[in-house]
Amino acid sequence: MKIAIMGAMPEEIAPILEKLKDYKTTNYAGNKYYEATYNGIELVIAYSKIGKVFSALTASTMIEHFGAEKLLFSGVAGAVSPKLKVGDLIVATKLAQHDLDITAFGHPFGFVPEGSVFVEANKALIEMSKQVAKEMGKSVVEGIIATGDQFVANEERKNWIGSTFEADALEMEGGSVAVVCDALGVDFFILRAISDAADMDASFSFDEFLETSAIESAEFVMKMVDKIVLSLNKN
């Protein structure tokens, strides 16, 4: 079994690399990919750089070039739901691209022909995350994540994304990674820890909480890996 763990920024995968210590680094397609053996399974880890294009490239590379069979994303996000506070964890049930717009042709936001507005994440991995949350004594919210090539620091835009997609959180990579994994038939799981509220103060909040929220998310994702290893050993 080979599992991909990806983030968008160095801070999002640093806690994972720190935990592994020993890994092989490969330069490929303008990025660094880190490979390691962990508890008898193989891991490939990378940060993509920010946004939908880079994250789609990295997810595709991890699957097609490195042979990843499952993909776990760890990172930070802006909260849309007022229930989500800085440091809280959200697991995506489904994801949409909030900046995809051919509504001039009568299509809904986030839709292109032969695509779909939402891509659903793997249900078994979401179930597994509930157990992990319980064992860690953490609460993890399940919700809809909206993705776009914009850092949202604007109440109006945030509320529009919330009402149009019923989104609970927003970020810049999950929706594109979801499209790639869905097309290539790879189970995926998108976890985000809240770094800001996507409002006027978002950039300050982001800078302040990026590191601590990224650690929250990375720790949880590594526990997910442990759980996957356990379930493989049982079968």
**For binding to ligand SAH (CB under 6 A), which residues are involved?**
8-9, 50, 75-78, 151-152, 170-173, 195-196, 198, 202, 206
Closest to ligand SAH by CB, 75 vs 143, is 75
Judge whether 142 counts as a catalytic residue.
no
**Which burial class, exposed, middle or buried, applies to 212 when counting CB atoms under 10 A from its CB (0-12, 13-18, 19+)?**
middle
Residue type, 68: A
> Which of residues 173 and 219 has its CB atom nearest to ligand SAH in the complex?
173
CA distances from 104 to 107, 108, 111, 202, 217 (A): 7, 9, 12, 31, 38
How many Cβ atoms are within 10 Å of 36's Cβ, its own excluded? 18
The least CB distance from residue 19 to ligand SAH, in Å, is 21
CB closer to ligand SAH, 43 vs 190:
190
Q: Alpha-carbon distance 229 to 41, whole Å?
A: 7
Question: Residue type at 162?
Answer: G
Q: How far is the CB of 144 from ligand SAH (least distance, A)?
A: 15
Write down the catalytic residue from 11, 171, 173, 196.
196
For ligand SAH, give the closer residue by CB, 164 or 227. Answer: 164
Min dist. Cβ of residue 58 to ligand SAH (A): 12
Residue 25: count of CB within 10 angstroms of its CB: 10
Radius of gyration of the chain (CA): 17
Residue 104 has phi, psi (to 5 degrees) of -60, -20
196 is catalytic: yes
Return the residue nearest ligand SAH (CB atom).
78
The nearest distance, CB 65 to ligand SAH, in angstroms, is 22
Catalytic residues: 12, 196
